[in-house]
């Protein structure tokens, strides 16, 4: 796609803010390792945060709002590099600049694909801030704001904080800053705290990891079932309001988490396709339960292993079992990635499906009927299968076509919905 | 049985977070709890009781009454 007409480039300079340097948090190190493994094909880890304004505002107001965000959240003005020993470090910048690129747009056009591809180019994280800003201009006024953020800087929870704060700053009346809650711990505060973690808790976590890694090593499903397609990795998304009404009702009835219900429903057909009765799973845990991180903008997710039984007699049993496994895994989801790297037996990688569930935020997007679409097709990806849930909105699978061909991927997503609707009828 | 005041506080906080009536026999998930509401609930209980709240107490209690009992027991242990 060609870039749309570019109207203007505005440079926002900031200065006089706190600058400091230190180690990465464990979560940041996990994402850093991920980016190192994928680079230079890591641009799909970048995230777009889109905000459509109810009333257009001048560019200067957006500039002030972004400046406020930069002051509040150190993650937005941090660069990342390695020290002399090759260890990644983060450098919070006290001064710098961000460019706001404005594009002429018609009001109401805010689909992700209508923004320029240059907006989501990979970040040179050692020299550039992990943030880009694009503005949709109509008659010289801003009607949309889009932030592109590196995943090393923020996770989905942080993005919600940023979207809410940006909306407040751009729509509230006089002195909107007084409406913002103070931010909680900054990434470097968390990194420093992690250096002092209790050895007992870490020992329990690493014991859990050893147990799961040993168990997972006995499960192999990563042998290709056919020739890969080109591009190799296909990402399909299924949206259905009925599916989420069902998952929510089943979860409430069974008194378990909706994320577990959806995991069980997505993995049952996957297990069938992969001819497995148990699947090792990388559960993406948010690690947000502490009040100290409630208003923190940083990347806090980490993958934690769990085992998912998919050959269970009934769906309800499978969902309850998934819930218990997730609860257990989430007790061990904050860890030093360098410590756990050596826990897998040599030559026995963890063949797994990654599962990520992003909670509801605000009213669900209402989708009439069911809809399937291919979101993206990639040549390179570091994982075999990625199952993603936007609660209340959609489920998606990204898979290596050599393992799960696109037509079977589509079938798995359709089957997920049917499982949930049937389970709800039986409640 | 948890002290009535602890249970009352837990239910009041939960009702604020979920925006709906919450009974002692409900549990976190039966009223629609998810990761986002867990963060809110833990933060508000932390404020209400002025102590660290273990996420396991929130996520793994079978009922809000059981959650209140756990919190009450912790408070009693601390003041003993």
| Statement to judge: residues A285 and A373 lie in one domain | yes
Q: What CATH number corresponds to the domain at position B26?
A: 1.10.1200.10
A219-259 residue pLDDT tens: 777 777 788 999 999 999 999 999 999 999 999 999 999 99
| Statement to judge: residues A177 and A272 lie in one domain | no
Chain position carrying tokens 């061990």 = A332
The answer to whether position A1 is within a domain reads no
Q: Distance between CA atoms of B22 and A375, rounded to whole angstroms?
A: 39
- Report CB contact under 8 Å: A252, B59: no
Chain position carrying tokens 């009992």 = B69
Minimum distance, in Å, between the CA of residue B73 and any CA atom of chain A = 21
| Statement to judge: residues A206 and A327 lie in one domain | yes
Question: Which residue range is the domain that position A138 belongs to?
Answer: 6-191
pLDDT of residue A239: 96
Among candidates B32, B39, B60 on the partner chain, residue whose Cβ is nearest the Cβ of A289: B39
**Contact in structure between A137 and A105 (CB atoms under 8 Å):** yes
| Statement to judge: residues A278 and A421 lie in one domain | yes
Q: What CATH number corresponds to the domain at position A317?
A: 3.30.559.30
Question: Which residue range is the domain that position B30 belongs to?
Answer: 4-79
Residues of chain A with pLDDT under 70: 1-7, 108-113, 312, 344-351, 361-367
Domain final residue pick, A131, A157, A191: A191
Minimum distance, in Å, between the CA of residue A48 and any CA atom of chain B = 20
Domain final residue pick, A163, A191, A219: A191
Among candidates A160, A257, A360 on the partner chain, residue whose Cβ is nearest the Cβ of B29: A257
Q: How many CB pairs under 8 A join A and B?
A: 55
| Statement to judge: residues A169 and A309 lie in one domain | no
Interface with B, mutate which of A288, A289, A300 (most B CBs under 10 A): A289
pLDDT of residue A252: 96
| Statement to judge: residues A187 and A202 lie in one domain | no
CA nearest A286 in B: which residue?
A: B35
The pLDDT of residue B80 is above 80:
no
Q: Please report residues of B whose CB lies closer than 8 A to that of A160.
A: 36
Report the sign of the C-alpha dihedral through residues A164, A170, A172, A174, in that order. Answer: positive
| Statement to judge: residues A176 and A217 lie in one domain | no
A186-196 residue pLDDT tens: 999 999 999 88
- Report CB contact under 8 Å: B35, A259: yes
Interface with A, mutate which of B28, B29, B65 (most A CBs under 10 A): B29
- Report CB contact under 8 Å: B35, A294: no
pLDDT of residue A410: 98
Minimum distance, in Å, between the CA of residue B4 and any CA atom of chain A = 24
List CB contacts of A265: < 8 A, sequence separation 6 or more: A247, A315, A319, A416, A419, A420, A423
Interface of B with A in 7-66 (CB under 8 A): 27, 29-40, 42-43, 46, 55-56, 59-60, 62
| Statement to judge: residues A94 and A172 lie in one domain | yes
List CB contacts of A143: < 8 A, sequence separation 6 or more: A52, A53, A56, A105, A107, A136, A137
Q: Return the closest-CA partner of residue A53 out of A6, A112, A107.
A: A107
pLDDT of residue A115: 79
Q: Please report residues of A whose CB lies closer than 8 A to that of B65.
A: none
| Statement to judge: residues A154 and A228 lie in one domain | no
List CB contacts of A339: < 8 A, sequence separation 6 or more: A202, A206
- Give the number of domains in chain A: 2
Structure token pair of residue A96: 């710098």
CA nearest A328 in B: which residue?
A: B56
CA nearest A247 in B: which residue?
A: B32
| Statement to judge: residues A327 and A181 lie in one domain | no
Interface with B, mutate which of A291, A323, A325 (most B CBs under 10 A): A291
Q: Distance between CA atoms of A357 and A283, rounded to whole angstroms?
A: 9
Q: Distance between CA atoms of A116 and A402, rounded to whole angstroms?
A: 31
Minimum distance, in Å, between the CA of residue B40 and any CA atom of chain A = 8
Structure token pair of residue A352: 């797994």
pLDDT of residue A241: 94
pLDDT of residue A348: 54
Q: How far is CA A263 from the centre of its chain?
A: 16
pLDDT of residue B45: 94
- Report CB contact under 8 Å: B29, A251: yes
| Statement to judge: residues A84 and A232 lie in one domain | no
- Give the number of domains in chain B: 1
B11-40 residue pLDDT tens: 999 999 999 999 999 999 999 998 889 999
Supply the ipTM of this predicted assembly. Answer: 0.87
Identify the contact set of chain A against chain B, taking CB-CB distances under 8 A.
Answer: 157, 160, 248, 251-259, 286, 288-291, 294, 327, 330-331, 357, 359-361, 391
pLDDT of residue A41: 82
Among candidates A160, A255, A361 on the partner chain, residue whose Cβ is nearest the Cβ of B30: A255
A27-82 residue pLDDT tens: 999 999 989 988 888 888 899 999 999 999 999 999 999 999 999 999 999 999 99
pLDDT of residue A2: 47
pLDDT of residue A340: 82
| Statement to judge: residues A126 and A31 lie in one domain | yes
Q: Distance between CA atoms of B31 and A327, rounded to whole angstroms?
A: 18
């Amino acid at each position: 796609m060609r870039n749309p007409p570019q109207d203007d480039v505005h440079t926002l300079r900031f200065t006089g803010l706190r600058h400091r340097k230190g180690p990465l948090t464990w979560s940041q190190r996990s994402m850093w390792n991920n980016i190192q493994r994928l680079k230079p094909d890591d641009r799909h880890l970048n995230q777009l945060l889109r905000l459509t304004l109810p009333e257009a505002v001048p560019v200067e107001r957006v500039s002030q709002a972004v400046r406020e965000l930069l002051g509040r959240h150190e993650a937005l003005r941090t660069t990342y590099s390695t020290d002399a020993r090759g260890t990644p470090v983060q450098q919070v910048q006290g001064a710098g600049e961000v460019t706001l690129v404005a594009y002429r747009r018609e009001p109401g056009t805010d689909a992700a694909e209508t923004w320029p591809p240059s907006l989501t180019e990979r970040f040179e994280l050692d020299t550039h801030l992990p943030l880009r800003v694009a503005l949709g201009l109509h008659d010289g006024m801003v009607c949309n704001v889009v932030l592109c953020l590196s995943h090393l800087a923020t996770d989905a929870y942080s993005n919600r904080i940023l979207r809410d704060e940006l909306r407040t700053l751009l729509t509230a009346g006089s002195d909107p800053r007084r409406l913002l809650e103070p931010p909680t711990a900054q990434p470097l505060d968390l990194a420093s705290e992690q250096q002092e973690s209790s050895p007992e808790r870490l020992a329990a976590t690493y014991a859990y990891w050893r147990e799961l890694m040993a168990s997972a090593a006995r499960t192999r499903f990563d042998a290709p079932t056919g020739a890969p397609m080109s591009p190799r990795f296909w990402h399909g998304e299924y949206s259905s309001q009925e599916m989420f009404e069902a998952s929510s009702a089943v979860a409430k009835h069974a008194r378990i988490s909706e994320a577990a219900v959806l995991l069980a429903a997505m993995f049952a057909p996957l297990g069938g396709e992969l001819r497995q009765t148990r699947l090792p799973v990388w559960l993406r845990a948010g690690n947000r339960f502490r009040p100290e991180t409630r208003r923190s903008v940083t990347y806090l997710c980490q993958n934690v292993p769990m085992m998912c039984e998919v050959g269970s007699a009934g769906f309800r049993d499978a969902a309850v079992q998934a819930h218990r496994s997730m609860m257990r895994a989430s007790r061990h989801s904050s860890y030093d990635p360098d410590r756990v790297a050596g826990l897998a037996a040599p030559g026995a990688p963890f063949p797994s499906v990654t599962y990520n569930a992003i909670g509801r935020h605000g009213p669900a997007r209402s989708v009439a009927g069911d809809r399937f679409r291919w979101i993206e097709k990639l040549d390179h990806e570091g994982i075999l299968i990625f199952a993603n849930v936007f609660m209340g909105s959609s489920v998606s699978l990204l898979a290596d076509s050599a393992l799960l061909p696109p037509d079977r991927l589509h079938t798995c997503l359709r089957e997920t919905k049917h499982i949930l609707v049937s389970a709800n009828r039986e409640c | 049985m948890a002290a009535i005041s602890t249970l009352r506080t837990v239910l009041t906080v939960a009702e604020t977070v979920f925006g709906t009536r919450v009974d002692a026999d409900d549990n976190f998930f039966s009223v629609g709890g998810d990761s986002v509401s867990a963060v809110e609930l833990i933060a508000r209980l932390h404020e209400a009781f002025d102590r660290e709240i273990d996420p396991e107490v929130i996520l793994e209690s079978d009922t809000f009454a059981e959650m209140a009992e756990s919190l009450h027991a912790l408070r009693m242990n601390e003041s003993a």
